[in-house]
A and B are shown apart, each in its own frame.
Chain A
C-alpha cells in the first residue's frame, strides 16, 4: 500500500517522464547488449588517462544540449515560446572565440589572446544576440519563434563574416581541453562544464526569485504586472541568460574539433533543446517549469542518439527512428496519457488491495 502511494506520487511528479524514458532506454540496451554499460580506463594519444565507453560518451556529448536546455527552459517558461536561433548563435559565438584567438591570421602558431578573454568576449557577443531576440520578443511583442527566425536565418552568415569566411584552426592543445580531456583527469571536460552550469543555475534558482518571477510572468502577465513585476524585462532577461548558455555550449563545440564549420556546427540543436524541455514535461506554452527534468531530458536525447549510433541504424533512416522514439516519449508525457496511466495504476492498486483483503 505504502509502496503504491510512493509510486503514484512519483508518477505525478514531472520528472517521472524523463526518468522513465531513461530507464526504458537503459533496459533496452541491457537486453540487446550489456556491453553498452562497459566503461574502460585507457590512455589517449597524448598519454593521459581517459575513461571510455558509451555511458561516458553520453555524458560527454549530452553536455552542450544540457546547457542549452537550461536557458531554453527559462525562455519557454517566461515567454511561452522557444528560441530557434540557438544553433546559429552557437556558430556566431564559436566564430567569435576563434576570431579572438586567431587574430588576423587564421592558422596561428600561438594563440593571439588568452582563451579566457576569447571566451568572455564570446559571452558578451552571445548575450548581445540573446538581447536582440529578447528585445524583439519582450518589447516589440513578436512571437518568439518569429523573432528568433531572424537570427536562425542570418546567424550562420554572420558567423562566417566574423572570420572573413576563412577557416581558422587552433593548434594549441590547451584549447582542445574544453571539448576533450584535461591531462590527468579521465572524465571528459564538457561534463564538468555542464555540471558547473547546473550548479550555477541551481544556486541562482535557490538564492534569487528567477524561478518564481519567470513562472508568474509565463502564467499570467497581467497579474504579474499588478504585483510589481516587469514582465517585459523578465522575458528579456531569460533571453540574455540563454545567450550565456549558448556561449558556453559554443566553446565546447569549437573546442571539440579546434575549428568551425559555419554551416553545420550545432545544426538542428535548437530542435533537440526544445525537445529536451518538452521531454522534461514542461509546457511549451510557458508557465511552470522543472529545471532538473529539462536537463535530464537533454541526456535522454543524447542517450537515444548514442543508442542509435551504436546499433548502426541505417544512416539515412536515423532521423526517422529518432522521430518515432520521440513521438512515443512526448505522447507519454502529455497530461492526457499521464492521467490515463495513473488511473490504470489506481485500478491495479484497487485490485491488489482487494485481493489482499480476500486473503486476510
Chain B
C-alpha cells in the first residue's frame, strides 16, 4: 500500500517536473509534430535536440532552429527534445518511420548511435549533426557542424596576449572538469602559461559553471592578498561571480582598470557589461547553426557535394573597446 502511494506520488512528481520544464506546451514532451503540410514540395526534417531549458546557449540554439525551419523557408519540421540518449534514439526511430528527408541531431551522448543511423541510411534519410559529434563512422552522416572549443580558447588567449601587459597574473576559473568546453578553453591558457615566463596562474580552480563558487574563489585570492590582473572565467556566469567579489573588495575592473575580466558564451547581459566597459572580453560559443544546416541542405538538394564533413563555425571574440549595440543585439543569446 505504502509502496504504491510512493510510486503514485513519484509519478505525479515527474508529471509536475514536466510542467515545470515546459514554458509552453510545444517545448515539453518527447516529440511534437508540426501540423502536416499540404504542400508536397516541402523538405521534411526531424530535429532532435537537448532540452532548451538546459542553458541559455541551448535556448538560443533552439530559437534559432525554430526560426529557420519554417514552412516559409520551405521546411516541414518536427522537433524532439531530451537530455537522455535512449529517448533521443527512440525519437530518431520515429522520425525515420515518418519518412523525414533529413534528420538533424544534437546527440545527448556520443555513443550508441550506429544502428539507428544505419537504419536511417537504409531508409534514405540523410543525417546532419549539429553542435555535438558522435562516435560513429563518418559514412553514417552527411555533415557535422560544431564549435571548436580549443579555438575559442586560442582566440581568447591571443586577444589577451595583444593587451601587452608587462606581467600576466591570471585567476583561472574553470567549468565542470572534463567537459568539452572546459578542456578546450583551459588548454590554450595552460599552453601559454607554460610557454611564457611572464604568465602565471594565481589560482586555477573549478567553479563548476557556478557564479557563487567563482565568487568564493576570487574572494579567497583577495583575502590572501596576492596580486592579480586578469580573471579568465570559462563562462559568463562565473565571470559575473568573480566581478561580484571584486566589487565587494574595491578592486576596479574593465577597460583601463586594474583587472581584466574575460568570459565566454556571449550572453546578452554579458555583452552589455562589455558595452559598459565593465568587462574586457567575451568569447563566443556560437549557437546559431541553423543557417549552416540550411546551406548544406540546399547544396545537397541541388545535387552538389560538400567539400568537408566537419564544418567548424565562425566564432568571434568581442573586445569591450570595439563592441557595438548591434553586436549585442545580433550575437547576444
Direct contact of A and B (CB under 8 A): yes
B30 within 8 A of A: no
In Å, the complex CA distance between A180 and B251 comes to: 15
Asked if residues A57 and B220 are in contact (CB atoms below 8 Å), the reply is yes
Contacting residues, chain B, for A181 (C-beta < 8 A): 248
Of the residues A53, A141, A257, A315, contact of B174 by C-beta under 8 Å: A315
B210 contact from A45, A107, A158, A264, Cβ within 8 A: A264
Contact residues, A124-157 vs B (CB, 8 A):
136, 140-142, 146-147, 149-150, 153-154, 157
Inter-chain CB contacts under 8 Å: number: 136
How distant is A58 from chain B, measured CB to nearest CB, in Å?
A: 10
Q: How far is the CA of A257 from the CA of B269 in the complex (A)?
A: 13
Q: Is the CB of B267 within 8 A of A259?
A: no
Q: How far is the CB of B289 from chain A (nearest CB, A)?
A: 20
A contact residues, total (Cβ < 8 Å): 52
A118 close to chain B: CB less than 8 A: no
With A154-B16, A154-B17, A310-B224 already in contact, the answer to whether A259 and B249 are too (CB < 8 A) is no
Are the C-beta atoms of B224 and A259 separated by less than 8 Å? no
A42 contacts B20, CB within 8 Å? no
A165 touches B216 (CB 8 A): no
**Interface flags, A256-267, vs B, CB<8A=1, else 0:** 111101011111
**Residue B5 CB within 8 A of the other chain:** yes
Q: Mark B63-79, 1 if CB is under 8 A from A, else 0.
A: 00000000000000000
Cα-based distance from A25 to B305 in the complex (angstroms): 66
Chain B residues lying within 8 Å of A358, measured Cβ to Cβ, are none
- A153 near B17 with CB under 8 A, answer yes
B222→A52 contact, CB < 8 A: yes
- Which A residues contact B (CB, under 8 angstroms)? 35, 42-45, 50, 52-54, 57, 61, 107, 136, 140-142, 146-147, 149-150, 153-154, 157-158, 160-161, 164-165, 167, 169, 180-181, 253, 256-259, 261, 263-267, 305-306, 309-310, 312-313, 315-316, 318
Choose from A107, A157, A310 the contact partner of B269 (Cβ within 8 Å). Answer: A107
- Docked Cα-Cα span, A158 to B21, in Å, equals 7
Q: Is the CB of B269 within 8 A of A44?
A: no
B31: interface (CB < 8 Å):
no
Pairwise interchain contact A45-B252, C-beta atoms closer than 8 A:
yes
The reply to whether the CB of B212 lies closer than 8 angstroms to some CB of chain A is: yes
Instruction: List chain B residues, Cβ under 8 A from A43.
Output: 250
CA of A123 to CA of B252 in the docked complex: distance in angstroms? Answer: 35
A35–B220 Cα distance when bound, in Å, is 13
Q: A45-B250, A107-B269, A253-B212 are in contact. Are A309 and B205 (CB under 8 A)?
A: yes
With A44-B248, A256-B215 in contact, is A261–B210 under 8 Å at CB?
yes
CB pair B244–A256 under 8 Å, yes or no, is: yes
- Please name the 9 residue pairs, one residue from A and one from B, whose CB atoms are nearest each other, closest first: A157-B20, A154-B17, A150-B13, A309-B220, A315-B205, A315-B206, A264-B210, A44-B250, A158-B20
